[in-house]
Amino acid sequence: MNAREKLAYEKAAGLYEFARADNEQGLIELYDSRLREAERGVNTYWLKYPVRTGVGNRHSLRVEGGAEDILYSANIGYDNVEGAMKGSSRNTFNGDLLLSYRSGNVTFKNDLLISFNKSANSPYGDFNEFAKVNAYWKPYNDEGNLQKFLESNSYYPNLPLAGMYSTIENPLWNALLPNRDDSRYTQIQNNFEIMWDVIPQELTLRGRFGYTRTTERADEYIPSEHTKFSDYIGEDFGRKGQYTYETGEGVSYESSFSLNFNKVLNNVHQIYAGLQYSFSEEKSEEYSITAEGISNIHMDFLGMATLYEKGGRPYGTEEISRRLGGTANVNYTYDRRYFLDLSGNVEGSSKFGNKNRTAPFGSVGVGWNIHHESFLSAKREINEARLRLSYGSSGSQNFNPYQAMSSFRDYGNFSYNGWYGMYLLGMGNDDLGWQTTYTTNFGVDLSLFDRRVSLTADVYRKKTKEMLSDITLPSSAGFDTFKANVGELTTNGVELNLRGYLIRNEENGWRWSAGATLVHDKNKITKISNSLEFLNQTLLEQDQSNPSFLFKEGQSINTIFAVKSLGIDPSNGQEIFQKLDGSLTYTWDPKDKIPCGVKDPKFFGNLNTTLAYKNLSLTAVFSYRYGGYYFNETLANRVENIYPYNNADKRAYYDRWKTPGESALYKGVRDFSQTKASSRFVMKENTLHCSSISMQYELQSDWLENNMSISYLSVSGYLEDVFRISTLKQERGLVYPYSRKFSMSLTARF
């Protein structure tokens, strides 16, 4: 809102009213002083201060060469990204050295990758800090000096800040102070491989070993003049100035050994078989300390601090996990027409309970290359036709390393007769097992009309058993949740991929191609455990503004549960709710929650097209979603769940109920009660997003090669996040602003 709109909103919301005349007089004077500022032209657009047009650069160089038995390649790259917020940046350096040596039937390869990154957060903090400042305040006083506080001792006895005097801080003051908020990491990765062709082109033995080491560090310095320390008085005065230091390192290794056999018999039977054994370990540690008491604002150094954070102590985490697995697979193809795939593996992971750390998985697949049959081989319009059918199982390991283990923490400085006590931090589960998904898939591949049109279609059914989820425990347990296998989920879906040439005139150099993918995916919970029933009951009793995602048999896992709303009552501006028995009420009750829609879209996918004339090409890429529902949390929290102290969405003034008989989308402008999860904010999302548009020109000429040794030259431009059209209007980029990115690149090969 601009200055006048915000003042009108504050007055409509009753910010300057109170029953006692003495207090109301002070509020009237406050309103008059703000109005005078607006009348004399103060209308600050605060969002302009933290943003900029960032200009970065990216460079890369690749060199390769070698002889018959020795090959090498080297890459170096540098990427500088200047963010949309002033002072934010990310600089990345990458290096890669690949060496390959062959001696007889043995090949040695070593690939060394080094990556270094340094990032800086904006000194302006969150973008939202500027979005909420009222336009009738200005960052500089009439003498041109930067103000630390925009307004002091604002008093609103009629609202939740009753009995409190509020001081409004200037976010620009903090941004221009000396500060530090940056992080960096270094990663070194080395992959070594030995390959022995025991029988050339038939039997191969391969061994791999990979090692990765990562170190990271983060520093944040807040100077003593920061408004965060404005109320540090008395014994806390010496605590002004804060430094937080975080450091960590991680080490991982992975090794595998495989034996592969490939043989063609009588030009009809092709057999491939493979065995593989692999194991890995990941280990990481992170530490953090926060210190205070740095009086000099220019001393952004941890050693200048005089004490630890009040009530704080050093913090650290460590994780270690191990995995091993064995795999066997066989592939048989007959006359290039029929093929059979079989595979089986056993996986073990330390992330699961002692009783279920290993699990077997497998798959089987068959296929038919119809285009190799005699009755289709003569049909020129059919280039490829294939049918596929497969069934298999797989497991997921993307979970916390210690989720199945009971964990403890000491009481710190407390002891009894020299003995230190421990308390249970989290409850383990020895029976925790693998979350396993069983997938059945039927597919068709077609390529037609001299490969002008290609189509891939898949129909699948996935059944996930032993789903892993956090189970909420009663407060008497001493901790909030523990991990358990809780139920089964079935997913049915269709995926289509179509691509074709609308124009393909090689003589004139014109080419126009287009492609589209479409995915229809629907899931349903088929079974839940008793512990999940308990979790559902806990979620139903939660009094919150966000909707619940309950686990109910027959419903999607992404079903939105909220109380049904009939809108705003024109007579009083209150929201009308419908209870489960059909009666109407003004009282929101979590037990009245019903399914209000599914977050998953009915259809989603991508669209792309490329138009080319000789060496010039133009490409556009889109994504789309259709038919899903979304709880518009930002709308609820930016229009209703607010107080009129800070700047707000225009709809908070224009679209909220104000007078009896008024038809409004949002509840009364003077209603400051929390808006709970209701169907009023569950909205259908149909979205078309143009993610990128790029143009490229490629140049290959004898003159460049003869005079400059350039065999290939290209110039390209790339535009990212071009536009977004959606039925769902929601505010984005509150913490960090959304931005469009345009880049140009030049590529040359010598």
- CB atoms closer than 10 angstroms to residue 682: 21
Percent of the chain with pLDDT strictly greater than 70:
88
Average pLDDT, the chain: 87
pLDDT digit string, tens, across residues 203-251: 999 999 999 999 999 999 999 999 999 889 888 999 999 999 999 999 9
The CA distance from 451 to 507, in Å, is 17
pLDDT digit string, tens, across residues 39-88: 999 999 999 999 999 999 999 999 999 988 999 999 999 999 999 999 99
Query: For the residues 405-422, what does the mean pLDDT come to?
Result: 69
Q: Cα–Cα distances in Å, from 550 out to 141, 497, 595, 635, 694?
A: 53, 33, 9, 22, 43
**The predicted structure's pLDDT at residue 250:** 96
162, pLDDT greater than 50: no
480, pLDDT greater than 70: no
**The predicted structure's pLDDT at residue 433:** 74
The CA distance from 449 to 383, in Å, is 7
470, pLDDT greater than 60: no
Query: For the residues 515-528, what does the mean pLDDT come to?
Result: 90
User: Does residue 361 contact residue 393 with C-beta atoms inside 8 Å?
Assistant: yes
**The predicted structure's pLDDT at residue 617:** 93
pLDDT digit string, tens, across residues 662-682: 999 999 999 988 898 899 999
How far, in whole angstroms, is CA 173 from its chain's centroid? 32
Burial class (CB in 10 A: 0-12, 13-18, 19+), 1: buried
Look up residue 295 and give its two tokens. 């009086």
User: Does residue 425 contact residue 407 with C-beta atoms inside 8 Å?
Assistant: yes
Please report the sign of the dihedral spanned by the C-alpha atoms of residue 172, residue 173, residue 177, residue 183. negative
Query: For the residues 437-443, what does the mean pLDDT come to?
Result: 94
For Cα atoms 126, 127, 132, give the angle at the middle one, nearest 5 degrees: 105
The CA distance from 186 to 251, in Å, is 12
Query: For the residues 564-588, what does the mean pLDDT come to?
Result: 94
Range with the lowest mean pLDDT among 250-264, 294-308, 409-423, 706-720? 409-423
The three-state DSSP-derived secondary structure of 415-460 is EECCEEEEEEEECCCCCCCCEEEEEEEEEEEEEECCCCEEEEEEEE
The CA distance from 253 to 641, in Å, is 49
Total number of residues shown for the chain: 750
Which residues are paired to 325 by β-bridges?
278, 347
Pick the residue with more confidence: 461 or 435?
461
Look up residue 497 and give its two tokens. 């991929």
399, pLDDT greater than 80: no
The CA distance from 145 to 143, in Å, is 6
Range with the lowest mean pLDDT among 85-94, 554-563, 684-693? 554-563
Q: Cα–Cα distances in Å, from 561 out to 471, 508, 674, 681?
A: 18, 58, 18, 12
Query: For the residues 499-519, what does the mean pLDDT come to?
Result: 91
Most confident among 182-196, 315-329, 550-564, 662-676 (mean pLDDT) = 182-196
Range with the lowest mean pLDDT among 426-430, 714-718, 724-728? 426-430
424, pLDDT greater than 70: no
The CA distance from 424 to 407, in Å, is 6
User: Does residue 347 contact residue 361 with C-beta atoms inside 8 Å?
Assistant: yes
